Amino acid sequence: MAENSGRPDRERMVWRGVVEEYRRFMPVNDKTPIVTLGEGRTPLIYAPVLSSIKSAKVYLKYEGGNPTGSFKDRGMTLAISKAAEEGSQTVVCASTGNTSASAAAYASKAGMTCAVLIPEGYIALGKLAQALIYGAKVMQIKGNFDQALEIVRELGENSEKVTVVNSINPYRIEGQKTGAFEIIDTLGVVPDYHFIPVGNAGNITAYWKGYQEYYKEGISSSLPKMMGFQAAGAAPIVLGHVVERPETVATAIRIGNPASWDNAVRARDESGGVIRAVEDSEILEAYRFLATKESVFCEPASAASVAGLMKTEVKPGSVVVCVLTGHGLKDPDVAISQISVPEAVDATYEAISKELGI
Ligand code: AN7
């Protein structure tokens, strides 16, 4: 079979997940059991319409292509592998949804118990379904993400038995930095600008770390400007103070007190970038634009990066990467709210022809 395959270089097509593929940059050893679902190597999609609008070369790093449909898998493979190495039986996290889906999947793969705390009423349906179907113990709390994270921190401090797999777990950041490696490996150059949504601020921290590591190793020869975007109703870093009651349609980034606040500010300042706010209306506009003009369906929070690009001037001819952090199917309710659902039509050839105008 292999010899007859029309696909070139078959060996290279086997992808072992981000920990093995970037092992040299990972804090693992011979005794680390690598728990993987083959995450990473997500599409980097050229965006012709955006490129034309911005007079730049714009690419979308589509993290919805990961096994549980979000970028969280990059960090979770390492966090769960290290938890397994340390003999942990139970992992716990607070989540706006994607972390819980990813933790539930990787914990299940490792044979561990997973407990997740999520804000009641503010988690997208797809994410809730995922956490439940992978078998996690799901606790909806009568509070928001920030309150959930406080409780999880306390659990971690008071019990040896549970491992916290939020991005305060440093292995999460180490795994997530592979997104930056992939972008450089795929493009062959470092982008001039890196646009990214900011919630708890782990991902902007991770990408900046990844870009810096390739630079220090001499693999790359420049660094991008880090361009972070928070939802206007949940923009503590932009405002410079904690937001007690964060609100946004992008529930994934409905966070008022980010755990990696200082690191995000450092990434912004060291790279000469910005962290700004985008309105919900701008997020939804970018969300619809991506689906209809670039044919990429992401979740609302992901569109914050492109909403940011829409209103930011970039140098003509520059290379721009926007990270789309999660899959559109994560949040079917928002998708359906943005379109008009068609009425049922008679099941006849005539009725359908009439509808089609043929
Ligand atoms: C789709 O799942 O915080 O700035 O608990 O799901 O690294 O927090 C999710 C965050 C962007 C923000 N896009 O990333 C969680 C959670 C999507 C997300 C973010 C999240 P960070």
3-state secondary structure of 349: helix
- pLDDT band for 4, please (50, 70, 90 cuts): low
CB-ligand 1 contact for 325 (6 Å cutoff):
yes
Q: Is the pLDDT of residue 12 over 90?
A: no
Give, in order, the Cα–Cα distances in Å from 219 to each of 15, 111, 118, 173, 189. Answer: 21, 37, 40, 20, 10
Q: What is the pLDDT of residue 11?
A: 63
Closest residue (by CA) to atom 14 of ligand 1?
199
DSSP classification of residue 255: -
Sheet holding 225-231, edge to edge: 44-46, 57-62, 319-324, 193-197, 225-231, 274-278
342 or 112: whose pLDDT is higher?
112
Neighbouring residues of 45: CB distance < 8 A, sequence distance ≥ 6: 59, 60, 62, 294, 296
Q: What is the mean pLDDT of residues 287-309?
A: 98
Write the DSSP string, 121-180. Answer: T-S-HHHHHHHHHTT-EEEEESS-HHHHHHHHHHHHHH-TTEEE-STTSHHHHHHHTHHH
Place of tokens 């991008």: 224
Q: Cα separation of 283 and 305, whole Å?
A: 8
Q: Binning pLDDT at 50, 70 and 90, where does residue 263 land?
A: very high
Tens-place pLDDT, residues 158-203: 988 899 999 999 999 999 999 999 999 999 999 999 999 999 999 9
Which residue, judged by its Cα, is nearest atom 8 of ligand 1?
A: 200
Looking at the CA of residue 197, tell me the nearest atom of ligand 1: 11
Q: Give me the residue label for tokens 């509070």.
A: 143
- Protein residue closest via CA to atom 5 of ligand 1: 95
**pLDDT for the residue numbered 245:** 97
Q: Whose CA is closest to atom 20 on ligand 1?
A: 252
Is residue 85 within 8 Å of residue 171, measured between CB atoms?
A: no
**Mean pLDDT score of the chain:** 96
Residue to substitute in 138, 325, 329, 330 for testing ligand 1 pocket (most ligand atoms within 8 angstroms of CB)? 325
Task: Establish whether residue 299 lines the binding site of ligand 1, counting it when its CB lies within 6 angstroms of any ligand atom.
Answer: yes
Query: What pLDDT sits at residue 160?
Result: 86
Q: What is the pTM of this model?
A: 0.96
